[in-house]
Amino acid sequence: MSSQFLSPCFSYKKSNLYIENLSVNEVAETVKTPFYLYSAAQIKANIAHLQSALSDVLPDDHYTVCYACKALNNVAIMRLIGQQGCGADIVSSGELTRASQAGIAHDKIVFSGVGKSREEIAHALQAGIRQINVESGAELKLIESVAQEMAMAAPVVFRLNPDVKAGAHEKISTGQKENKFGLEAKAIKDLYRYAEDSSHLTPRGISLHIGSQLIDMSPFDTAYKIAADFVTELRSAGHSPDTIDLGGGIGIIYDQEDKPDLSTYAALVAKHIAPLGLHMIFEPGRMIVGDAGLLISKVMYIKETDHKSFLILDAGMNDLLRPALYDSFHPIIALQTTENEEHRLFDIVGPVCESADVFGKNISLPRNITANSYVAITGAGAYGATMSSNYNARDITAEVLVSDSRFDIIRRPINIEDQLSFENTPEYLISG
Ligand code: LLP
């Protein structure tokens, strides 16, 4: 049994789904479902794959891979990724704390995002991160004033909005004029000059990030050409950038997609960007962790109606929001199945009180699947755990990391007692 969406660290041995050298069923018998399950080997393989494609065309000391930890920011996972030589792309003070705790060198951290607060900027400058990616003139002024108070010069790069359409869904497209992200070239030119004249700012170059889950590499071709031309313009205006941050966005196979070709991507970088002689930063998120994670869930009920057979899982949209938010599809497979087993179609849903709490319609699963069997929702490593919530006062699920034949709980569930411990009922409501 093999499916193109299952990455090499997941496979069926006899009738059981394995993650590396461990039976997933064995983990499911021990850890309360639902839970996220990650393969350390697959994460390492994904990083190695990217590094090898880039190293084929770029000298190793000309680029840094800064993992976009919004995709999955568990500290154990970030430590594993840091150990492979990656830095981090962060979008909040919280992610900076996580990166520090994971032992990621601060000079390999870049800070993205349109709404950084004064406290977050101070935290980043205090930590001595590599650069802050600036998204507006107002933000630049705030960074300057914080740096002045700290008697230092803040390293900044300016995020270019190249007005290129990219991304699998309009909600994950970021590089067009109507998006809130980035600055127009003309605005950057003015701000670059301003930063150069300030003793509390050090302008270092430009960044861009056009969208997420790109399968076709041609939007990178367009955007990187625009970025390269813009660097040339900055140089003609007398500036000396030393950095270009090329963002993330490379997609993964969720279902039937073609495999994004990393050598095509690297060739585009070599063609447009490498000749500029700048230090290059890459911010991949999804492609590092996406196919390395499963959401493991138990079948609670099988509900037959005149129209449908529903499989009601114990995982819901609060655990994995992507299908409800982006209509994305994550194939669902049984942990135990035999080669020629008969299948039938189910609508697979969660227990949350929302009609959007649906993981898939008309999904083929073994005909004889029963309550208490386990299923795996695939491709759940990126933007799964990090986007989960406690909606319906449900637990925030556990996360488990597998390496070879061992597994470790890297986050226990955040349960109702944990949640209530943050709340307070004023005395007058109790006594009155
Ligand atoms: N750099 C910046 C500035 C970003 O905004 C992002 C993602 C990345 C890098 C990483 O992009 P990636 O390599 O993962 O495509 N929640 C959505 C994805 C949102 C992406 C936001 N920005 C989803 O589940 O599809």
Q: What is the mean pLDDT of residues 221-245?
A: 98
Provide the phi-psi class of 196: left if phi over 0, else alpha when psi is between -120 and 50, else beta. alpha
Ligand 1: centre distance to CA 71 (Å): 7
Question: Is the CB of 291 within 6 Å of ligand 1?
Answer: no
The answer on pLDDT for 4 being more than 80 is: no
Establish if 21 belongs to a structural domain. Answer: yes
The SS3 assignment for 310 reads strand
Residues 276 and 315 reside in one and the same domain: no
Point out the domain boundary residue: 228, 254, 289. Answer: 289
Question: Is the CB of 208 within 6 Å of ligand 1?
Answer: no
Residues 284 and 306 reside in one and the same domain: no
Query: If we measure between CA atoms, which residue out of 331, 333, 337 comes closest to residue 368?
Result: 337
**Ligand 1 atom at minimum distance from 71 CA:** 14
Q: What is the pTM of this model?
A: 0.97
Establish if 246 belongs to a structural domain. Answer: yes
Ligand 1: centre distance to CA 282 (Å): 12
Ligand 1: centre distance to CA 308 (Å): 35
For 189-201, how does the pLDDT look when each residue is reduced to its tens digit (9 = 90+)?
999 999 999 999 9
Specify the range with the lowest mean pLDDT, choosing from 151-160, 190-199, 252-261, 274-283.
252-261
Which distant-in-sequence residues (6+ apart) come within 8 Å of 179 by Cβ? 161, 173
Establish if 69 belongs to a structural domain. Answer: yes
Q: What is the mean pLDDT of residues 300-317?
A: 97
Residues 322 and 240 reside in one and the same domain: no
Residues 86 and 31 reside in one and the same domain: no
**Ligand 1 atom at minimum distance from 133 CA:** 3
The catalytic position among 9, 66, 69, 353 is: 353
Establish if 349 belongs to a structural domain. Answer: yes
Residues 331 and 276 reside in one and the same domain: no
Establish if 320 belongs to a structural domain. Answer: yes
Per-residue pLDDT, 167: 66
**Which token pair is 343?**
């299948």
Residues 239 and 327 reside in one and the same domain: no
Which distant-in-sequence residues (6+ apart) come within 8 Å of 319 by Cβ? 34, 295, 297, 350, 384, 388, 394, 397
Ligand 1: centre distance to CA 168 (Å): 11
Per-residue pLDDT, 242: 98
**Ligand 1 atom at minimum distance from 213 CA:** 15
Provide the phi-psi class of 277: left if phi over 0, else alpha when psi is between -120 and 50, else beta. left
For 323-366, how does the pLDDT look when each residue is reduced to its tens digit (9 = 90+)?
999 999 999 999 999 888 999 999 999 999 999 999 999 999 99
Question: Hey, whose CA ends up nearest to atom 8 of ligand 1?
Answer: 248
Per-residue pLDDT, 110: 98
**Which token pair is 57?**
């065309």
Structural domain range at position 385:
10-39+291-420
Point out the domain boundary residue: 232, 257, 289. Answer: 289
**Ligand 1 atom at minimum distance from 284 CA:** 13
Per-residue pLDDT, 179: 78
Residues 161 and 108 reside in one and the same domain: yes
Residues 28 and 52 reside in one and the same domain: no
Ligand 1: centre distance to CA 288 (Å): 12
Question: Is the CB of 283 within 6 Å of ligand 1?
Answer: yes
Question: Hey, whose CA ends up nearest to atom 23 of ligand 1?
Answer: 383
Question: Is the CB of 286 within 6 Å of ligand 1?
Answer: yes
Is 66 an active-site residue? no
Phi, psi (5° rounding) for residue 389? Answer: -145, 180
Percent of the chain whose pLDDT exceeds 90: 93
Per-residue pLDDT, 338: 87
For 63-105, how does the pLDDT look when each residue is reduced to its tens digit (9 = 90+)?
999 999 999 999 999 999 999 999 999 999 999 999 999 999 9
- Dihedral (Cα; 275, 278, 283, 287), 10-degree rounding: 30
Per-residue pLDDT, 168: 64
How many independent structural domains does the chain possess? Answer: 2
The SS3 assignment for 399 reads strand
**Ligand 1 atom at minimum distance from 112 CA:** 3
Residues 144 and 194 reside in one and the same domain: yes
Residues 144 and 272 reside in one and the same domain: yes
Q: What is the mean pLDDT of residues 414-420?
A: 98
Point out the domain boundary residue: 240, 258, 289. Answer: 289
Question: Is the CB of 322 within 6 Å of ligand 1?
Answer: yes
CATH number at residue 358: 2.40.37.10
Per-residue pLDDT, 154: 98
Ligand 1: centre distance to CA 228 (Å): 22
Amino acid letter, 117: S
Mean pLDDT over the full length of the chain: 96
Q: How confident is the model at residue 181 (pLDDT cuts 50, 70, 90)?
A: confident
Per-residue pLDDT, 17: 97
Q: How far apart are the first and last CA of the chain?
A: 64
Residues 250 and 373 reside in one and the same domain: no
Q: CA-to-CA distance for 300 and 350, rounded, in angstroms?
A: 9
Q: How confident is the model at residue 177 (pLDDT cuts 50, 70, 90)?
A: confident
**Which token pair is 107?**
């000079």
For 130-160, how does the pLDDT look when each residue is reduced to its tens digit (9 = 90+)?
999 999 999 999 999 999 999 999 999 999 9
Establish if 58 belongs to a structural domain. Answer: yes
Question: Is the CB of 71 within 6 Å of ligand 1?
Answer: yes
**Which token pair is 48?**
């190695």
Establish if 342 belongs to a structural domain. Answer: yes
The answer on pLDDT for 1 being more than 70 is: no
Question: Is the CB of 323 within 6 Å of ligand 1?
Answer: no
For 105-130, how does the pLDDT look when each residue is reduced to its tens digit (9 = 90+)?
999 999 999 999 999 999 999 999 99
Per-residue pLDDT, 38: 98
Residues 227 and 240 reside in one and the same domain: yes
CATH number at residue 61: 3.20.20.10
Question: Is the CB of 284 within 6 Å of ligand 1?
Answer: yes
Establish if 326 belongs to a structural domain. Answer: yes
